[in-house]
């Protein structure tokens, strides 16, 4: 199988509860920058992780369809600043059911693999 990467120029969509969210997958560099922004003393706490996920979604979501105001009747036009106002369970679903979450997980897994390779090398060298 050929090597695969997420092309940030490709427009994608995910449907959640009858609403459609249009997005582009952020690059791993962008994700790293958003993670670093939320780190405190080199550590990303759970509350920081939730904020990172919201940051990533705000960066990634480029439009939506069939989103209604809290009155349940008035259409709510897409604005980037409104992404964080979506219910947390919807944000989690978008993240987990889209290529955005897959890109984030891939970045985290590759970071763990690199750490393990360095630790293995250091062990072999007696460090």
**Full DSSP string of 22-58:** EE-PPPHHHHHHHHHHH-BTTB--HHHHHHHHHHHHH
Find the helix or strand (DSSP H, E) in which 23 lies.
Answer: strand 19-23
Q: Is 39 a member of any domain?
A: yes
pLDDT score for 55 = 95
Q: Is residue 121 pLDDT above 80, yes or no?
A: no
- How many Å apart are CA 110 and CA 47, to the nearest integer? 22
Does residue 47 fall inside a structural domain? Answer: yes
125 occurs within a structural domain: no
Structural domain contains residue 62: yes
Tell me, yes or no, whether 7 lies in a domain: no
Flag whether 5 is in a domain.
no
pLDDT score of 43: 80
Q: Which domain holds residue 96?
A: 12-118
Q: How many domains does the chain have?
A: 1
Tokens of residue 116, six digits: 């393990």
pTM score, two decimals? 0.80
pLDDT band at 116 (very low <50, low <70, confident <90, very high): low
The verdict on residue 37 lying in a domain is yes
Domain membership of residue 1 (yes or no) is no
Mean confidence (pLDDT) of the chain: 88
């Amino acid at each position: 199988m050929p090597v695969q990467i997420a092309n940030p120029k490709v427009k994608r969509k995910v449907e959640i509860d009858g609403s459609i969210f249009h997005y582009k997958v952020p690059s791993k560099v962008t994700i790293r920058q958003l993670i670093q922004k939320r780190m405190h003393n080199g550590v990303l706490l759970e509350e920081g992780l939730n904020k990172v996920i919201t940051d990533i979604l705000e960066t990634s979501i480029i439009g939506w369809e069939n989103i209604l105001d809290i009155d349940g009747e008035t259409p709510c036009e897409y604005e980037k600043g409104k992404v964080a106002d979506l219910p947390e369970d919807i944000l989690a679903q978008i993240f987990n059911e889209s290529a955005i979450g897959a890109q984030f997980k891939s970045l985290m897994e590759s970071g763990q693999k690199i750490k393990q390779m360095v630790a293995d090398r250091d062990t072999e060298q007696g460090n």
